[in-house]
A and B are shown apart, each in its own frame.
Chain A
Amino acid sequence: MIFCTVGTQLPYNRLLKLCDESASIMPDYNFFMQIGESDYIPKNSAWVRNINEIDYHDKLKKTQLIIGHAGMGTILSALDYNIPIILVPRKHALNEHRNDHQLATAHKFRHYSSIFVYDESSDFTELIFKALSFVGEYEVDKKSKEFSQKLVLIVNELLGN
């Protein structure tokens, strides 16, 4: 399954249009879209407005590729499940977010081998095929566990233990 998600906060019509167009020329692939408050209704794919956490994780278990905005929740999910992801950063100029931090986020994560960033110069469907053919794994858990360990020590220090 190819899972397209706009995240929990804001509508994102541009992302859904891109995905829906690709869905129409990729009939052998099963697309699923979480559209939030967007006005655009996908014609070539199943969709829901919002999804609860449990269903979300169920979907991710069956997902080969995520296409999403450059939100941290979406990126972390993709890395957690080791699923390749295409980021389509929201742009302030197109009124897609309050500022351009998603461009910065996308830029920071470019070097991850499983993260692909869409810019207008490339063909979206081609990028989907490229991302689908990604194979590989890497460790992301190690850093976050070290961080957690350090914070436990800091909490203990604050508590005077």
Chain B
Amino acid sequence: MMILAVASGGGHFVQLKKILFYFESEVLTVYSTMENPSLNLNCKYQVIPDCNIYNFYGLFRCFMSLFCKIYILRPKVVISTGAAPGFLALLVGKILGAKTIWIDSIANSEKLSLSGRMARFVADKWYTQWPELSSENGPYYIGSVL
């Protein structure tokens, strides 16, 4: 397994599925917070605990779960559309030597999300989906799901 894609449920997951359209499913693993999502992708899937920035215990639990899973999986690239679990996945990926890609959710049209701003420190490639939010030092804009 080479590529890990992570997003929390709902809108982040919908966007993740869209950006994975041209990825080869044989080398792809997806983590999200839902038990039985409709993936439309013929790749491996695992559930991770949901968490948000307001709950330290939740963050810790999610981090540990991700650490164990990613330690075994050893992906070469970790890619995420958010939110907090996606940020943690990039952090763990970085610690374990993977290259990391952050795509900030298209919902954040005025300002990057908090996890998106923190992702700057752990992302090798740091993207926004709104050209007006991009800057010379990142985040960069290369396209969007809409």
Contacts and interface: CB of A to CB of B under 8 A. Distances in A.
A159 B99 contact: yes
A-B CB proximity, top 6 nearest: A72-B11, A147-B143, A73-B11, A148-B21, A158-B99, A72-B107
A151 B107 contact: no
A76 B125 contact: no
Given A140-B146, A143-B146, A77 B14 contact: yes
A151 B14 contact: no
Q: Interface size bucket, B side? A: 35 or more
B109 A155 contact: no
Interface in B36-76: 36-38, 76
B84 interface: no
A159 B103 CA distance: 18
Nearest to B54: A98
Interface in A142-157: 143-152, 154-155
A79 interface: yes
A79 B19 contact: no
Interface stretch (A12-20, A21-29, A49-57, A122-130): A49-57
A159 B38 contact: no
A158 B143 contact: no
B97 interface: no
Interface in A92-132: 101, 104-105, 107-108
B106 A72 contact: yes
Contacts of A155: 3, 23, 77, 79, 101
B36 A144 contact: no
B22 A148 contact: yes
Interface residues of A, number: 35
Specify which of B2, B13, B106 lies most central, judged by the most chain A CB atoms within 10 Å of its CB: B106
Contact of A146 (B36, B76, B103, B143): B143
A138 to B, nearest CB: 11
A42 interface: no
Nearest to B145: A144
B138 interface: no
Contacts of A147: 18-19, 142-145
A159 B105 CA distance: 24
B14 to A, nearest CB: 5
A140 B21 CA distance: 14
A158 B107 CA distance: 27
A76 B10 CA distance: 10
